[in-house]
Structure 1
Amino acid sequence: MDTSIHTKKLTLFALTWPIFIELLLHMLMGNADTLMLSMYSDNSVAAVGVSNQILSLIIVMFGFVATGTAVLVAQHFGANNEKSAAEVAVVSIFTNFVFGLILSLIVFVWSKDLLLLMDLPTELLDEADSYLKIVGLFSFLQALIMTIGAVIRSYGFTRDTMYVTIGMNILNVIGNYIFIFGPFGLPVLGVEGVAISTSFSRLIGLLVISYLLIRRVKHGLHFKKIFRLPRIHLQNLLKIGIPSAGEQLSYNSSQMIITYFITIMGTQALTTKVYAQNLMMFIFLFSIAISQGTQILVGQMIGARQINHAYKRALKSLKLAIFISAAMAIVFSFFKEPLLSIFTDNQAIIKTGGVLILLTIILEPGRAFNLVLINALRAAGDVKLPVYMGILSMWGICVPIAYVLGIHFELGLVGVWISFIVDEWIRGIVMLWRWRSRAWEKKSFVSPVENADITA
């Protein structure tokens, strides 16, 4: 049996452009919230920004199952073992559903306590709590969307999740317009309305993506047999997912600490960070899309035991991501003031935000190293080193530098951005060394029995 049949049909471009559109629309959804709220109140922008910092940490927790799902499904699919791929899908969806419900209830019950831990300014607390309670309670919907999306993308159907995201964005923007501006005499709900709109669009998105999953997985999804499926699938999910989540958890929690530093600088600094990062997301969007497409290809190549192809694919993807991210950062730097003026007319915010955009010219190529190579290592089953290095760099380098430069030496947000640059480049260089060492070659989660026909 030729287990390379799947990988021959897929190219990086064919996988990546729908992922790019999907990610772009995800970011546009967040920016739509920010832009529409900026017409309502700058304080509302800051309140939602801090709430989303907490929610992003929750989404990382959901991501540990989705990440393991993407790797295992891709490897089994690459090895032409669609039965095991379908079993992994069932175990993953059920696991993240239960886990998502638990975390959703925790956020809903303790939302105000979580915000107080961030030392949020008093004037922002009520709006932030309202947003966090609503979006947090229904965040399990995102857990399911992430897991089902990971399955569908690993099968190579990246357009499906793109179409779902388009629909979710349209619904979200319409909902934002209704609740923020109150057309036809409807009540203006502000932040609370944005939260309702976000949650409703996710509910509809989940229903549609579930339908697409049933259509795409030809082998069948047997949820009634969930407790009789091989335990090895859950074990492998945890082997990949927990370390991968550890790296993301370390990143997001360190970002929460840095956000706390920024709250010390004041509401204006917090608002500037939100606007600058909203623009920066469009720059590193290309690297994220390339890294996710690369993860699918590398995972399938590893499953098919095409080791040299996997090695070269990751390095080619890295070069492409570095070039595009650097070019985009330079383009954005030329238009930094008009872009920031979309969100605000506060000249102090525009001036500081412009400096941060300039610093991204150095930052983003370093981030490309981490996005592409960590995903490639993860696809090969090599998940521990990125975690160890991430914890060491984020907490031993990024957080201390952010405090020393940003607070102690009073460089403010510029000091914080310098800490980001140092962290990304140090970790990126270590990830490149690890990939070139090829220590990941023997870490596949597909058993020799499954691909014995290729290795024989």
Structure 2
Amino acid sequence: MENTYSKERYSKNDRKILRSRVIEIAWPAVTELVLVSLFGAIDMMMAGQIGSIGTTAITAIGLTNQPIFLAMAVFQALNIGGTALVSRFIGAKKESEANNTTMQLLYITFFLSFFVVIPAVMLAKQIYIFMGADKEVIDIGLIYFKIVLYGIFPQNFALAIAAVLRGAGDTKTPMMINIFSNLLNVFGNYVLIFGRLGFPELGVTGAGVSTLISRIISMVMLGWILFNGKSKIKLNFKNKYKVDLTTIKRLMRIGFPSALEQFFLRTGNLFFVRVVATLGTVIYAAHQVSLSILSMSFTSGMAFGMAASTLIGQSLGAEDKELAEEYGKEVRFLGSIVATAIGVIFFIFGPQIVALYSNDPEVIKRASFVLKMIAIIQPFQSSQLIYAGGLRGAGDTRWPLISTLAGIWFVRVTLAYLFINGLGYGLIGAWLAICIDQIIRYFILLWRFRVGKWKHITV
């Protein structure tokens, strides 16, 4: 039996080279996701400043997040399959197969988008009602919700292209384009929400219009990268790429467990949000502010997880299983350092961070305490995201599914209902459930990584 934690092969100098490679791949993804998350937070901060309806505006935007995430779950899963296949092909120096995989991913993204988005737009009001929105929230947010749903079309294409570029080891291009489009979104929010520079004052609806425009621009820019011949993934309009059912089946086979994972994650979070929404608009606003800040803390773990997926996939494509494992350990080590630093900032400066979102004393008080809980779980949260990313890069998508099912449904949703409705812990009970969920998922994925069976999976 192989020793999964053998260190004989790698000297200190080798480890420095590994670490520099991890940093080279990870820093653009970290920068991109942190700034994108920050821009998303600015969206909510701006919405919170809309006169007397700021708190309601935050709730109106916040209640749309989980349904939209659920609608995008299948595409995120396919993108995981795209990253895994492309990274293997690039590692094995099979560029033509990487190109074909990219085109097949775009075909299936185009086809499925219609079947997801159009019904969601038609049922937008019913979805809002299901999420627990009251009449005031629906009146303010319904048009915003529909516009953002249409934005899923360009967003899906942009995410698919970014996924294959990352699989090829190019994390800088998606970073630069995503930052630019989000800067444009923030500017659009400023002029359209508040009616600046001669633009109409559209309130929450303006945030939706700005989001749609920025996503279209992101899609166009990323598409241009694929066809200009300057990346490792090179598509050409002269090549008549036929629908390749074999490759599509491979994408779906890898992505199916991830699709189930996303389904369980999003539906679980949806029911979790419904439980929290019963606590009232002010408490839900505090919860939504806390979630926005939590998403910023997720970014480092997700970014290092992307790096783990790329590096492990390429190493396995080059048939170097030991190198794949060493990359996994190196990424987790660096990710934990960053996560701990984030936790310290949240713990010390919680009230000041929350005050950027809302000037409501009750929201600040409740969300600040939640931030201390978020701070404590940072190393567990980051590590479970990194292990999950590494396993997905190896094509082992089943165990991230198992960890999510156990964590979200058997821990988060169940304990939230017990803590809120049974024991009366309120918002603290909801976040205690989130903390326990993150820790459970960490231990499941740590065990799977240590066992080492992911190194022998065929994609």
Measure the CA separation in 1 of the matches of 2:442 and 2:197: 52
Measure the CA separation in 2 of the matches of 1:227 and 1:100: 19
Measure the CA separation in 1 of the matches of 2:119 and 2:232: 33
Q: Which amino acid aligns with 1:141?
A: P
What are the residue-to-residue correspondences of 1:182-201 with 2, within 5 Å?
A: 182-201=195-214
Distance 1:384 1:177, change over 3 A: same
Q: Which amino acid aligns with 2:119?
A: I
What are the residue-to-residue correspondences of 1:157-168 with 2, within 5 Å?
A: 157-168=170-181
Q: Deviations over 1:363-418 (max 9, x none)?
A: 22221232011111111111112212321332112111011112221111111111
Measure the CA separation in 2 of the matches of 1:270 and 1:43: 10
Q: Deviations over 1:82-103 (max 9, x none)?
A: 1110010000011111112221
- 2:167: which partner in 1? 154
Give 1:255 deviation, angstroms: 0.9
| Correspondence 1:39 to 2:49 | yes
Distance 1:213 1:219, change over 3 A: closer
Q: Which amino acid aligns with 1:37?
A: A
What are the residue-to-residue correspondences of 1:123-142 with 2, within 5 Å?
A: 123-142=136-155
Measure the CA separation in 2 of the matches of 1:140 and 1:194: 17
Measure the CA separation in 2 of the matches of 1:393 and 1:134: 32
- 2:216: which partner in 1? 203
The one of 281, 286, 294 equivalent to 1:280 is 294
- 2:130: which partner in 1? 117
Measure the CA separation in 1 of the matches of 2:225 and 2:243: 25
Measure the CA separation in 2 of the matches of 1:292 and 1:227: 29
Measure the CA separation in 1 of the matches of 2:34 and 2:101: 28
Shifted more, 278-287 versus 136-145: the winner is 278-287
- 1:449: which partner in 2? none
Q: Which amino acid aligns with 1:101?
A: F
The one of 24, 32, 37 equivalent to 1:14 is 24
Give 1:9 deviation, angstroms: 12
| Correspondence 1:220 to 2:220 | no
Measure the CA separation in 2 of the matches of 1:441 and 1:353: 42
Is this contact kept in 2: 1:107–1:137, CA < 8 A?
Answer: no
Is this contact kept in 1: 2:121–2:150, CA < 8 A?
Answer: yes
Measure the CA separation in 1 of the matches of 2:166 and 2:410: 35
Measure the CA separation in 1 of the matches of 2:197 and 2:128: 34
Measure the CA separation in 1 of the matches of 2:420 and 2:167: 41
DSSP 3-state at the match of 1:377: helix
- 1:258: which partner in 2? 272
Give 1:42 deviation, angstroms: 1.6
Q: Which amino acid aligns with 1:311?
A: E
| Correspondence 1:308 to 2:322 | yes
DSSP 3-state at the match of 1:220: coil
The one of 89, 94, 112 equivalent to 1:99 is 112
Is this contact kept in 1: 2:88–2:314, CA < 8 A?
Answer: yes
Give 1:243 deviation, angstroms: 0.6
Measure the CA separation in 1 of the matches of 2:20 and 2:123: 45
The one of 175, 181, 185 equivalent to 2:188 is 175
Give 1:170 deviation, angstroms: 2.0
Measure the CA separation in 1 of the matches of 2:224 and 2:19: 24
Is this contact kept in 1: 2:57–2:204, CA < 8 A?
Answer: yes
Alignment gaps of 5+ in structure 2: 1-16
DSSP 3-state at the match of 1:402: helix
Give 1:298 deviation, angstroms: 0.5
What are the residue-to-residue correspondences of 1:312-331 with 2, within 5 Å?
A: 312-331=326-345
Q: Which amino acid aligns with 2:104?
A: V
- 1:87: which partner in 2? 100
Measure the CA separation in 2 of the matches of 1:30 and 1:47: 15
Give 1:219 deviation, angstroms: 4.9
DSSP 3-state at the match of 1:189: coil
DSSP 3-state at the match of 1:343: coil
Is this contact kept in 2: 1:87–1:221, CA < 8 A?
Answer: no
Give the paired residue count: 438
**Superposed CA RMSD:** 1.8
- 1:26: which partner in 2? 36
Is this contact kept in 1: 2:104–2:243, CA < 8 A?
Answer: no
What are the residue-to-residue correspondences of 1:53-64 with 2, within 5 Å?
A: 53-64=66-77
Is this contact kept in 2: 1:86–1:221, CA < 8 A?
Answer: no
Q: Which amino acid aligns with 2:72?
A: I
Measure the CA separation in 1 of the matches of 2:178 and 2:119: 27
Is this contact kept in 2: 1:366–1:421, CA < 8 A?
Answer: no
DSSP 3-state at the match of 1:305: coil
Alignment gaps of 5+ in structure 1: 1-6, 446-456
The one of 262, 275, 289 equivalent to 1:248 is 262
Give 1:10 deviation, angstroms: 8.0
Is this contact kept in 2: 1:51–1:131, CA < 8 A?
Answer: no
Is this contact kept in 1: 2:45–2:358, CA < 8 A?
Answer: no
Question: What TM-score results when the alignment is normalised by the length of structure 1?
Answer: 0.92
The one of 261, 268, 271 equivalent to 2:282 is 268
- 2:455: which partner in 1? 441
Q: Deviations over 1:108-153 (max 9, x none)?
A: 1111111111121221012222111111023111110000111112
Give 1:184 deviation, angstroms: 4.3
- 2:247: which partner in 1? 233
The one of 49, 65, 73 equivalent to 1:52 is 65
Q: Which amino acid aligns with 1:17?
A: W
Measure the CA separation in 1 of the matches of 2:251 and 2:84: 9
DSSP 3-state at the match of 2:325: helix
| Correspondence 1:74 to 2:84 | no
Measure the CA separation in 2 of the matches of 1:9 and 1:212: 28
Shifted more, 185-194 versus 301-310: the winner is 185-194
Distance 1:185 1:76, change over 3 A: closer
Distance 1:8 1:322, change over 3 A: closer
Q: Which amino acid aligns with 1:227?
A: K
Distance 1:31 1:389, change over 3 A: closer
- 2:6: which partner in 1? none
What are the residue-to-residue correspondences of 1:307-386 with 2, within 5 Å?
A: 307-386=321-400
Give 1:81 deviation, angstroms: 0.6
Measure the CA separation in 1 of the matches of 2:289 and 2:65: 13
Question: What TM-score results when the alignment is normalised by the length of structure 2?
Answer: 0.91
Q: Which amino acid aligns with 1:384?
A: R
Give 1:312 deviation, angstroms: 1.8
